Structure 1
Amino acid sequence: MTPFFGEFLGTMILIIFGAGVVAGVTLKGTKAEGAGWIVISIAWGLAVTMAIYTVGPISDAHINPAVTVGFALVGDFPWSSVPAYITAQLLGAFTGAAAVWLHYYPHFAKTEDTAAKLGVFATGPAVRHRPSNLFSEVLGTFLLVFVMLAMGSQAFAEGVNPIIVGTLIMVIGLSLGSTTGYAINPARDLGPRLAHAFLPISGKGDSDWSYAWIPVVGPLLGGSLGALSYQAWFEGTTTPALWMAVTLFILAVIFAVVLEQQSASKKPVDYEVIHTKS
């Protein structure tokens, strides 16, 4: 098996389990309906663990463009492989989302809430405030990549590392994830959002593309800052890439503030709360 297919398969597994638990909790008529945020957060953590166990020996199981880019920035992954990895991750996420749609097909038809249907595929904020939503995604992904790199310097018993990473995903979800649904992974959000847009889902609404840039840009910035900060603080190496990432973060926040001000000057859009994962 090639690393490309490993990333495809690992990300597909991640989304089948992750989006699958969201569907079970939020769609009508399932046996898990209404099980709540704790169930979603735990299942996403376990989904990451299972994906790493499956394809870790093949591709190192990045299953997340923010991890791939962050590792490349600090020299732990070759830049030449970044485009292929990200492509595989997006394709895997799309395919996993399509599988979840087929699995829950009658429940999508039974569910009238279009926001709940979108929430199976893509993240959305509990309170729509772009600067805060962006910061939430940056912070969550910063901690993800920073702590993953820190854990890489520790000696664990063989086979334990995937459980540790899954636990990290769970704690991010339980402590920080309830603001935006913690995508912390551009492929996790963009791939399934594209699936929502293209699949003939019964009674679906729009795919909320006005928000879609936040769970892509936020995790990429957070992952980059997490990796470069670890390199600076723990290894004593500060590169121009760190200051570039900081500058891009500031510019992204300014852009989000401007969008929020423009939105506030217009008639507000009534988006329903989407309780889902990343």
Structure 2
Amino acid sequence: GVIALMGGRCGAGFQPAPGSEGLQAGSPQRTLVQAGSPHHNLAASGDAPLLLGILMECADPIETPDQLEEWVEGGVIAVGMAWWRGSRYAAGNGTNHKNDCGLTDLGRELATRMDGLGVVHDLSHLSQRATDDLLEHTDTTVIASHSNCRALLDGEANPDWQRHLSDETIAEIGRRGGMVGLNLVRNFIKTGLDRHSTNDRPTINETIAHVEHVCSVMGHRRGIGLGSDMDGGITANDLPKGINSPSDLQKLGEGLRAHRWNETEIRGFAWENWTRFWAGDPSLA
């Protein structure tokens, strides 16, 4: 919950939810970010509220693109057009590459409406072709909310290769002033793990390797933040060693410090990079 997140020194996050009512009711410790409304006056640190945004993972609940505005009014600020199986709008990362339809005509229409309403595109879970199609269709800022580096996960030899970001995609996200959110699911950090073992978990250093790679490709440390994927169905055995709950997320900061990140950069990873992104800070570009 909120207390565990703040205990882990996390100041911003996404909430999978059908609407904003549950987030807004009786929650002085958290503030719901709205699409197209920069929060320049909010800094997610100290006594400031935890910033939450509703991200839709798979756009199929939006039956037609003209319904998007209703979802935005309900609090949606970012949309990933597909999940693993794909959607009416785009192919997902589980799509056979030979049958990859990329972005559909309906998906292009939705993308245009998203741009008009200030809704952010999330590339996580899109197939490679859908990613390429979207980046060609729109020149807006994009994110990959919970994805890691394909180059560190056996490249295209990995059966799940489309779930991970190519260096070209990472570079383009950075060029547009976007963000990559680090995924903490163990097989998205390291290949060859025994999925049936409760002890075969990647180390903090192996996790931070993805952070460092994103920064190397982008050329700066302002486009990386926590993505986690800790949104249900994830146990401690699915996470890096030493991270058993949100309260342990500060151990990533300790690891970054050991890699000679300064305190400003560590705060950036923990929350400030995401906060600046939602505030529309041009320094990210």
Pick the structure with more helix per residue.
1
Pick the structure with more strand per residue.
2
Instruction: Please report the TM-score for the alignment, with normalisation by the length of structure 1.
Output: 0.28
Instruction: Please report the TM-score for the alignment, with normalisation by the length of structure 2.
Output: 0.28
